[in-house]
Structure 1
Amino acid sequence: MSFRPLPILFINLGGEMLYILDQRLRAQNIPGDKSKKVMNDIISTMFNQRFMENLFRPQEIYSKKGMRTVFDRLAHASIMRLNTASMDKLYDLMTMALKYQISLCLRPSDILLVTLNHLDAIRAFVEDSVPIRNQVEAVFRMVIKTYGSLSMGEFQLIRQTLLEFFQDIHIRVSIFLKDKVQNSNGRFVLPVAGAVPYGAEIPGSIRYYDDCGKMIKTTEFPCGSKYQASLREGSFETKGDRVIKLGTNMYSAVRPTDTTVSNPAQKSTMASSAEEATANPNPMVKAELNLLAHLMGAVDNKKGKSDFRVNMFNTDEEEEQFGASRPPPDMYDFKVINIDASKIQKSDELNRIMGDLSIPESSGSSSKGDDLLELMDSAS
């Protein structure tokens, strides 16, 4: 486990959230001044200097429930309001988009490029606001200072920690389904061919060297797939002359952003994974949430008639179907049954076996008993 992935996770999830909110604000024809205020308030709170300094301290990654709570509060750091179903859908889209991007990183260090692309897009949202833009640029420098000199092994550990965070989350997203990069069970279709990591050689050659290090011959072998060199660092797909970069806004084109669930069992798996790791929560999470709540205090005091609601669904029927597909909150409250093995009557056969396993007392030593359970207890 790495103690460095939390800022990367937070910044990239925040970038995806801003992409989605920008698309929904435009789709619902929200006036430009209100849309700008929503984006400015959220970005200003997200990149608050004190909050970022606490976030960049080496620490364990938050639990899924803790991270969801952070973004729930962050999304409401303005005059915009989301109901529970819309917030659930927003977070589903955020997590699946980032999971897909991390899965497509050809090199572990490409995670840094994904983060920088998100920061560039976020800075473009607040180009007209100099103070907020300076906040984003300060975080940009923090990212470079923290991650710019890490080795490939450290980036691999960060990538592994992030993938563990997204493990067992398989939510179907219509954009991914239409692009055929996601199966009907919610799992991504990852390419086994195509571009190799930037600067890497295309596989299929074996070189032989002599004792002096001079290459004496080269042989070729079939590698089973077609590979090509990456045109640019941080790109993962090429369509004609257009290079698609990880971390860019996939909602720039107006497309539906539905999330669907294949079956209740699958949703049960996703919801249970969302509750995973909450038994031993990170003590820093509470402090971060309290800090975030304090930073949003000025915004909360200004709530009034200017508040408006943003809906992540196109119709009320779609929202009702989404809400009905989610399991009830108490579905995962399991009962614990305690069994006291000491009160179970032992059979004659079991007593005979235990008698055969008894250890005779040695001279000068106290008896440890003939019961196998006592022997195991003493060993432990």
Structure 2
Amino acid sequence: MSHFATPFIVINLGCEMIYVIDQRLKTQSVPLEKSERVLTDLVTVLLHPKLLDELFLPQPVATHKVIKQLLQDISETSIMKLDDYSKNKLWDLMTMLFKWQLSVATTQNVFDISKRHLRNVMSLMPEYFSKFIFENTLNKFEILIEKFSDNDFHCLCTTLILWFSEYHTKISVLIRLGLQKKDGTFSLPSSINSKILKNLGENVYKYDYSNKNNLYHDIENRCIETNEINCLLPSIDKGCNEDKVLELKLPIDFQNEDQKRKIITITKSVEYENITACIKHRNSDLTYSPNVPKSPQEHLLEMLNETL
């Protein structure tokens, strides 16, 4: 079993979670400000450098229960609330979508899928959101790629396939796109749209609505087996989850049941530089005045000007 499977599971499932939640926020016409706040909170915690440092440590692959709880904890760090039923449905979506990607990846590997996940989630974020958090995560995968031997890669793929082997839920978006059959099995790669197959890790929902005049038109009526997106009815509470410091239980326990899992604290506050703007003339633009300490020469010139 690979000792590097855990970060692939957590990050890829986390990115699928972002896709689904972003989709649900749009179908509900949640105001842009609140939608951006939800995505910002979730991604800040999911890809926090402190959490990633722990996940990328060599370790036995975490159990399903532990990773599910970790991702549910992350989903609760925003101003959005999900009930238990919605959380379970969200888990079904995340696991089956990533399992499908792994099962049909003939010309791409899990590194390609992971990097595409990250780049596509980055495209969903507001412009003011720092790209560093994504670059840092991508860099960690690049470092891992350089260290991996062919045997390491084979071991990782085998571990991931075994980890997801117990999930068999039918997902309506996969059925609609012809990616999953009504008996729950996945379609063969040869029968799949080549554009979808070449871009595993992208938001699959964009293919679901690409031929619709209205991107989110009549979503409720087009579900075949389940209403997995529709059941996610988050309530956006202004006063919910305003904590600046979060505690997450890590999946790293090294299979030691007697030892409590490590808990890390994450600060999710985002600090911005203060800018001082002074008005020189009432009808002119604002002039930026940086708060930079003056040099001795500047102080001397200022004193000379005052005496003249």
How does the TM-score come out when normalised to structure 2?
0.68
Partners of 1:181 and 1:189 within 8 A in 2: yes
Aligned-pair Cα RMSD in Å: 2.9
What residue number does 1:85 align with? 85
What residue number does 1:21 align with? 21
- How many residues are paired up? 233
Letter in 1 for 2:73: R
Does residue 116 (structure 1) correspond to residue 106 (structure 2)? The answer is: no
What residue number does 2:204 align with? 250
Please show how residues 30-69 of structure 1 align to structure 2 within 5 Å: 30-69=30-69
Q: Distance in 2 between matches of 1:44 and 1:129?
A: 13
User: Offset of 1:49 from its aligned partner?
Assistant: 1.1
Q: Distance in 2 between matches of 1:298 and 1:6?
A: 26
Does residue 129 (structure 1) correspond to residue 128 (structure 2)? The answer is: yes
User: Offset of 1:185 from its aligned partner?
Assistant: 2.9
Q: Distance in 1 between matches of 2:92 and 2:158?
A: 20
Q: Distance in 2 between matches of 1:32 and 1:258?
A: 29
Letter in 2 for 1:93: L
SS of the equivalent of 1:59 reads coil
Q: Distance in 2 between matches of 1:76 and 1:259?
A: 27
Q: Please, which runs of 5 or more residues in structure 2 have no aligned partner?
A: 210-215, 228-250, 271-308
Q: Please, which runs of 5 or more residues in structure 1 have no aligned partner?
A: 195-235, 262-277, 300-380
User: Offset of 1:298 from its aligned partner?
Assistant: 7.1
Q: Deviations over 1:150-169 (max 9, x none)?
A: 23332221111011111121
What residue number does 1:282 align with? 255
User: Offset of 1:5 from its aligned partner?
Assistant: 1.3
Greater Rg by CA: 1
Does residue 152 (structure 1) correspond to residue 147 (structure 2)? The answer is: no
Letter in 2 for 1:87: K
Q: Distance in 2 between matches of 1:84 and 1:35?
A: 21
User: Offset of 1:243 from its aligned partner?
Assistant: 7.0
Does residue 106 (structure 1) correspond to residue 106 (structure 2)? The answer is: yes
* Alpha-carbon spacing, 1:31–1:127, altered in 2? closer, same or farther (3 Å): closer
SS of the equivalent of 1:295 reads strand
* Alpha-carbon spacing, 1:83–1:161, altered in 2? closer, same or farther (3 Å): same
* Alpha-carbon spacing, 1:54–1:281, altered in 2? closer, same or farther (3 Å): closer
Q: Percent identity?
A: 27
What residue number does 2:9 align with? 9
SS of the equivalent of 2:194 reads strand
User: Offset of 1:149 from its aligned partner?
Assistant: 4.4
Q: Distance in 1 between matches of 2:102 and 2:25?
A: 27
* Alpha-carbon spacing, 1:25–1:154, altered in 2? closer, same or farther (3 Å): same
Please show how residues 187-226 of structure 1 align to structure 2 within 5 Å: 187-191=185-189, 193=190
Partners of 1:170 and 1:185 within 8 A in 2: no
SS of the equivalent of 2:261 reads helix
Moved over 3 A (4+): 254-261, 280-288, 296-299
User: Offset of 1:297 from its aligned partner?
Assistant: 8.3
Partners of 1:63 and 1:282 within 8 A in 2: no
